[in-house]
């Protein structure tokens, strides 16, 4: 690309929309209309080579999220993109600390890496992002989603001035998001876009490192980073403040902590092996472990001066369960409304909690009270000894992390996580990400994900919704229902379907261990909300486990 001190036009389209066959003609028409740069939404990159063959010569920048690139394989993706004729990349959720390596590898293939900055981007990150840029910087003109607007941000000139302060006067800027008419482009008349491929090398690493070995991280669009940074700092300040912990622990009596730990004699007798103990998080106020993290996050929100808190489906000021889970959680939803919550159903994606929530990493800190109490309670009841194993269901991971983390330095304690196996791991209807998933990026972090060959995350299904002593298994819907029945009929405790997976896995583990060993199963929630779901699936799944029980509208008949 030739240097020029004039304005230019960059245009975005999605590869394959409306059809793959339409993409190349659209690219050619954009070039003929005078577009200087084409931003092509991935995952589909095949049209680039076809477009080059058809005479499209303007720079084509691939724009998208990091997970499809990670799934495809970075090196293979870069090579194939370069071979197809791509000019560079805009990866909207790749943080600078990750972009160092990616940008260097792009340069090795003759490709450019284009960072994004947003109105909320801090000066510190602007300095880093300015150093990463080797061609131009994409300036997001407004917060929120992409698309046409009646005007660009009133502070766009100031934002561009801030970017130039850290990136240098010669670094070209491309202003995007909402520039759709002559009126919206007027404020940009004095902002030339200069295209230059003079490479630069990143000089320093961002000071935050939110990673756990190969996992974790902050794979989020630039517009969200400042919000996460505020939350991160608020969390770190809170956990370092004794007054915060006093305020949190003062709420234990409201929660019902410590939750009880007791032996399950009849369940133990049924298993015929190790002694089974139950940690009763189902007895907490609101009926599960979730209140531990919910109240802590509300306290942090208050410290940050926030007046509302958006949380997972527990009683709170505003919650967002999706329609499918709203139906399954109907009783909980009604309880929330009784308590004054504003319940908003998330209608995007699969309409399950997968699309509605993503818990921040501070969850494990506040849920660790589960394992801490278990440790002390068990030692007090067993002459200072620790259990041989602890068992928890694994979905979002908060209750299993809460149970497991206090035992991470006790190698003699086995940790067993039981995932939702749905219809079986041999089908595509399950939620066993740790058992059957592969590394990917989802909900802003690198983790294990069920995904297809294009890096698109699969829908998950279940009847419910890296550690050396940790094992993970999957329990099918029928097996979870067996766990539900066992605890209900042998111990008089109706567990949540999520917890029922752990019950089944724990009983199977107990059968394999001698009678002088002990295991603790975390009963993470109570099952009132799931009784209707059990009634609906029993006609089918009951046959698999020999449970012939039917719901009757009028039992007197």
Question: What's the pLDDT at 259?
Answer: 97
Among 136, 209, 134, 126, CA closest to 165:
126
Q: Was domain 260-283+359-542 assigned CATH 3.40.50.1100?
A: yes
105-132 pLDDT tens trace: 888 888 999 888 888 888 888 888 888 8
47 pLDDT higher than 70: no
467 pLDDT higher than 70: no
Question: What's the pLDDT at 431?
Answer: 63
143 pLDDT higher than 90: no
Model confidence at 187, pLDDT cuts 50, 70, 90, reads very low
**Positions marked active-site:** 39, 50
529-547 pLDDT tens trace: 888 888 888 888 888 888 8
422 pLDDT higher than 80: no
477 pLDDT higher than 50: yes
- Output the average pLDDT for the chain: 77
Question: What's the pLDDT at 4?
Answer: 46
- Specify the domain boundaries for CATH 3.20.20.70 within the chain: 7-182
350 pLDDT higher than 50: no
Q: How far is CA 453 from the centre of its chain?
A: 20
**Rounded to an integer, what distance in angstroms lies between the CA atom of residue 363 and that of residue 420?**
21
Q: What stretches of 330-368 show up as alpha helix (H) in DSSP?
A: 330-338, 353-356, 363-367
Question: What's the pLDDT at 285?
Answer: 93
DSSP states of 22-89:
HHHHHHHHHHHTT-SEEEEESS--HHHHHHHHTT--S-EEEEE-HHHHHHH-HHHHHHHHHHHT--EE
Q: How far is CA 92 from the centre of its chain?
A: 16
Among 411, 312, 407, CA closest to 363:
312
Question: What's the pLDDT at 292?
Answer: 92
**If you average pLDDT over residues 550-554, what whole number do you get?**
70
Name the superfamily (CATH) of residues 7-182. Answer: Aldolase class I (3.20.20.70)
- What share of the chain has pLDDT > 70, as a percent? 71
The residue to which tokens 């993409």 are assigned:
23
- Specify the domain boundaries for CATH 3.40.50.1100 within the chain: 260-283+359-542
524 pLDDT higher than 90: yes
- What share of the chain has pLDDT > 90, as a percent? 27
Strand partners, 449: 438
The residue to which tokens 């990493």 are assigned:
361
């Amino acid at each position: 690309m030739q240097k020029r001190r004039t304005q230019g036009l960059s245009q975005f389209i999605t590869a394959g929309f409306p059809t793959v066959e339409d993409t190349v003609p659209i690219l050619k028409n954009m070039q003929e209309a005078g577009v200087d740069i084409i931003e092509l939404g991935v995952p589909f990159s095949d049209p680039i080579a076809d477009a080059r063959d058809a005479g499209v010569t303007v720079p084509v920048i691939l724009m998208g999220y990091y997970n499809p690139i990670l799934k495809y394989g970075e090196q293979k993706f870069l090579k194939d993109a370069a071979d197809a004729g791509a000019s560079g990349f805009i990866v909207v959720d790749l943080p600078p600390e990750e972009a160092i390596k990616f940008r260097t590898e792009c340069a090795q293939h003759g490709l450019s890496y284009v960072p994004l900055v947003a109105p909320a981007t801090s000066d510190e990150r602007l300095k880093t992002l300015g150093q990463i840029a080797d061609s131009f910087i994409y300036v997001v003109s407004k917060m929120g989603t992409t698309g046409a607007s009646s005007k660009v941000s009133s502070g766009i000139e100031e934002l561009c001035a801030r970017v130039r302060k850290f990136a240098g006067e010669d670094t070209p800027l491309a202003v995007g998001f909402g520039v759709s008419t002559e009126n919206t482009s007027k404020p940009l008349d004095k902002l030339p876009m200069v295209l230059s491929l003079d490479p630069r090398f990143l000089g320093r690493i961002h000071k935050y490192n939110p990673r756990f070995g190969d996992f974790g991280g902050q794979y989020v669009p630039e517009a969200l980073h400042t919000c996460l940074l505020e939350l991160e700092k608020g969390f770190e300040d809170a956990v370092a403040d004794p007054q915060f912990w006093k305020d949190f622990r003062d709420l234990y009596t409201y929660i019902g902590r410590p939750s009880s730990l007791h032996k399950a004699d009849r369940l133990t007798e049924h298993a015929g092996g190790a002694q089974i103990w139950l940690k009763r998080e189902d007895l907490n106020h609101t009926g599960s472990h979730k209140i531990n993290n919910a109240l802590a996050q509300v306290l942090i929100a208050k410290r940050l001066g926030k007046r509302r808190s958006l949380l997972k489906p527990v009683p709170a000021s505003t919650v967002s369960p999706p329609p499918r889970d709203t139906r399954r959680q109907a009783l909980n939803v009604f309880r929330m409304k009784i308590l004054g919550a504003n319940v908003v159903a998330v209608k995007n994606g699969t309409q399950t909690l997968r699309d509605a929530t993503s818990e921040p990493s501070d969850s494990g800190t506040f849920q660790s009270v589960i394992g801490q109490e278990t440790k002390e309670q068990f030692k007090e009841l067993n002459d200072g000894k620790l259990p041989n194993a602890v068992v928890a269901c694994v979905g979002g991971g908060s209750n299993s992390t809460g149970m497991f983390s206090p035992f991470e330095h006790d190698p003699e304690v086995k940790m067993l996580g039981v995932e939702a196996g749905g219809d079986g791991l041999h089908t595509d209807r399950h939620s066993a990400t740790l058992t059957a998933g592969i590394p990917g990026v989802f909900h802003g972090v690198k983790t294990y994900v069920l995904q297809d060959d294009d890096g698109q995350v699969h829908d998950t299904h279940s009847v419910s919704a890296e550690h050396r002593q940790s094992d993970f298994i999957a329990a099918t819907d029928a097996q979870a229902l067996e766990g539900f029945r066992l605890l209900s009929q042998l111990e008089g405790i109706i567990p949540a379907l999520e917890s029922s997976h752990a019950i089944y896995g724990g009983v199977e583990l107990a059968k394999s261990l001698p009678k002088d060993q002990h295991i603790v199963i975390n009963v993470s929630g109570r099952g009132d909300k799931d009784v209707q779901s059990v009634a609906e699936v029993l006609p089918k799944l009951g046959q698999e486990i020999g449970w012939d029980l039917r719901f009757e509208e009028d039992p007197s008949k």
